[in-house]
């Protein structure tokens, strides 16, 4: 029943990473969701780790490094289907994740581990999700009452929930990173900056129609992508990538606080 919303979240998460080395997004501090903002100016490290490299070559190094990550956190706001969507997820390469999404005035927490997904949304979230799928008002009211204060448990393979896999599949997300090499050409290096205390090189790409993307690449440690900002165009937004290679702890909700999806939708296993 929540598949439409979850698919939207999956698409957004994929877009945040896949566009990171060219058209992309930006982000707030890891602890908060925010709108796009250019990275503040900061002195670059000495010596410059990217000295002698073109902006396109730095972009290639950033893609390679980011694809090697075993876990990361993404937090930011994007526009999906004309609607603002806030995301804040920590995800690892074992298809485990924990985080939250906000859209259409509602909010929900999401956890996934062992192939099972748990979602806990507020009334506005569930109502918007079910209304968008055309469910009758009486069914929506009854379902919201059943889910009040509880987690919806969605076992792996439930029909209609295929989009869930994209939300917490780090390997798939990183496999798509910079897939279109044309998006990684024509980059220009802008002024160096700083993201959460880490010096960064900034890569800028401008497209016809006023769309501009700024990508921040770490200048210390591995050249991970730390921030992407997209302004102009039809889908502006921002995202910060952080907590690379740190453990992702997923707490399974107590059984007495969950409602199995089968109680809401008979569905069949795929």
Question: For 209-212, which contacts have Cβ atoms below 8 Å and span 24 or more sequence positions?
Answer: 209/233, 211/23
Whole-angstrom distance, CA of residue 117 vs CA of residue 181? 33
d(CA 30, CA 154): 28
What is the full per-residue pLDDT of the chain (270 aa) written as tens digits?
Answer: 222 223 333 333 333 323 333 223 223 333 333 333 445 555 556 689 999 999 999 999 999 999 999 999 999 998 877 788 899 999 999 999 999 999 878 999 999 999 899 999 999 999 988 888 888 999 999 999 999 999 999 887 665 555 665 678 898 888 877 676 776 788 999 999 999 999 999 999 998 888 899 999 999 999 999 999 999 888 889 999 999 999 999 999 999 999 998 777 544 443
Give me the CATH topology for the region 3-250: outer membrane lipoprotein receptor (LolB), chain A (2.50.20)
Q: Model pTM greater than 0.85?
A: no
């Amino acid at each position: 029943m929540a598949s439409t919303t979850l698919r939207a979240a999956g698409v957004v998460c994929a877009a945040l990473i896949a566009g990171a080395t060219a058209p992309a997004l930006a982000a707030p501090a890891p602890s908060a969701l925010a709108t796009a903002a250019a990275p503040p100016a900061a002195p670059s490290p000495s010596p410059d780790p990217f000295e002698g490299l073109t902006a396109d070559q730095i972009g290639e190094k950033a893609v390679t490094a980011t694809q090697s990550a075993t876990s990361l956190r993404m937090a930011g706001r994007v526009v999906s289907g004309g609607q603002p969507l806030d995301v804040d997820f920590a995800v690892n390469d074992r298809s485990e994740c924990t985080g939250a999404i906000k859209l259409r005035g509602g909010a929900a927490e999401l956890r996934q581990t062992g192939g099972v997904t748990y979602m806990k949304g507020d009334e506005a979230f569930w109502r918007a999700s079910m209304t968008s799928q055309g469910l009758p008002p009486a069914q929506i009211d009854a379902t919201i009452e059943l889910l009040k204060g509880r987690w919806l448990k969605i076992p792996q393979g439930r029909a209609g929930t295929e989009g869930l896999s994209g939300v917490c599949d780090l390997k798939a997300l990183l496999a798509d990173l910079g897939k279109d090499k044309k998006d990684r050409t024509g980059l220009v290096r802008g002024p160096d900056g700083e993201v959460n205390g880490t010096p960064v090189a900034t890569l800028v790409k401008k497209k016809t129609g006023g769309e501009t993307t700024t990508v921040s690449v770490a200048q210390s440690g591995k050249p991970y992508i730390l921030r992407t900002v997209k302004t102009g165009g039809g889908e502006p937004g921002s995202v910060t990538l952080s907590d690379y290679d740190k453990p992702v702890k997923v707490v399974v909700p107590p059984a007495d606080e969950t409602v199995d999806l089968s109680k809401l939708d008979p569905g069949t296993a795929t």
